[in-house]
Copies of this chain bind each other. A is one copy, B any other.
Amino acid sequence: MTLDFALDATIVKQLQRLAFLQYFLEVAAVMVSAFSGMLAARQKRMDFVGTYTVAFVAAFGGGTLRDLLLNRRPLFWVQYQQYPIIVFGLSLLFVYIPWISNPTHPLIKRLLTKRLFDFVDALGLALFSLSGVSYALGDQMPYFVASMLGVITGVFGGVLRDVLLAEIPMIFRTKTALYATCSFVGCWVFLISLLFNVSPAVAFYVAFTTIVLLRMLSLHYGMTLPTPQYLKQPALPSASAAKINR
């Protein structure tokens, strides 16, 4: 059962070469993930140690978990040590140089918009999700498991970041725009394309575009998953509601 849909080695290699070509995209995506960690750490009034650790976990947590589950070594951030060094430097700047964490220059403000960050983050979500699927297929995983590993790679950095902040992970909450869902849909677009013998490169680009588009549309139109049935009734007025809403 586990070997049904395995790809042959050439295709896997092709996929990995593709991943290599996306080097610059990767750097940008790592930086944006790390930045999401820094912002969260600031909100919790953490010091540099906390800021760097949360940024590190947000940037590398998903990939590290994937590598642990698939038993891959060296880990992503061990193989490319420039990544954690960049995150270290950025965290230092973020914590100690006021105009980095809170830019006031109008030009920088106009460049570093929330929309830009959301876009780069969507690129990262797409890239990491599909890298997770590719590695899982390379390890002969069945399709559903591969899609799970794709989503884990794409979103678990953010989940582990929120666990370190002692918060319920943001992507689990109702009324947040689609995130894991975009990753999941894109992974299946990729897998189904491969099933229909679409070339891996084409499948990759179609799936990549799907994830980025779906994410940006979902942010723009405030698309969320349908509210669970049992949450449609009015919220509980009691102590338990207070606990839930904290």
Residues of A within 8 A of B (CB): 1-2, 41-51, 53-54, 64, 68-69, 71, 73-75, 77-79, 81, 84-85, 88, 95-98, 101-102, 141-142, 144-145, 148, 159, 163-169, 171-176, 179-181, 224-231, 235, 240, 243-244, 246
- The CA-CA distance from A95 to B181 in the complex, in Å, is 15
Interchain nearest-CB distance for A240 vs B (Å): 8
Given contacts A2-B79, A166-B168, contact A144 B96 (CB under 8 A): no
Chain B's closest residue to A68 (CB) is B68
7 A-B pairs closest in CB distance: A50-B172, A47-B174, A95-B228, A98-B229, A49-B180, A46-B172, A81-B142
Do residues A96 and B228 form an inter-chain contact, with CB atoms below 8 A?
Answer: yes
CA of A43 to CA of B243 in the docked complex: distance in angstroms? 9
Number of this chain's copies in the assembly equals 3
CB < 8 Å neighbour of A230 from B101, B224, B230, B240: B101
Contact at B225–A47, with CB atoms within 8 Å? yes
Instruction: State which of B43, B73, B142 has its C-beta within 8 Å of the C-beta of A244.
Output: B43
Which residue of B has the minimal Cβ distance to A235?
A: B45
Using Cβ atoms and an 8 Å threshold, which residues of chain B touch A235? Answer: 45
State whether A229 touches B174 (Cβ < 8 A). Answer: no
What chain B residues lie within 8 Å of A243 (beta carbons)?
246
Interchain residue pairs with CB less than 8 A apart (26)? A41-B172, A45-B244, A47-B174, A47-B176, A47-B227, A48-B228, A49-B172, A49-B225, A50-B168, A50-B171, A50-B173, A53-B159, A53-B172, A71-B71, A74-B141, A78-B141, A81-B142, A81-B144, A95-B230, A98-B230, A101-B228, A163-B164, A164-B168, A164-B172, A166-B166, A243-B246
> Which of chain B's residues has its CB closest to A53's CB?
B172
Per the bound structure, the CA–CA distance linking A81 and B2 in Å amounts to 8
CB nearest to A181 among chain B residues: B49
Most buried by B among A68, A102, A166, A246: A166
Q: Tell me whether A2 and B47 are in contact in the complex, defined as CB-CB below 8 angstroms, given that A53-B172, A102-B230 are known contacts.
A: no
Contact B228 A145 (CB under 8 A): no
A140 nearest CB neighbor, chain B only: B74
Please tell me which one of the listed residues B50, B145, B229 contacts residue A84 in the complex, with CB atoms under 8 A apart: B145
**Is there contact, CB below 8 Å, between B164 and A169?**
yes
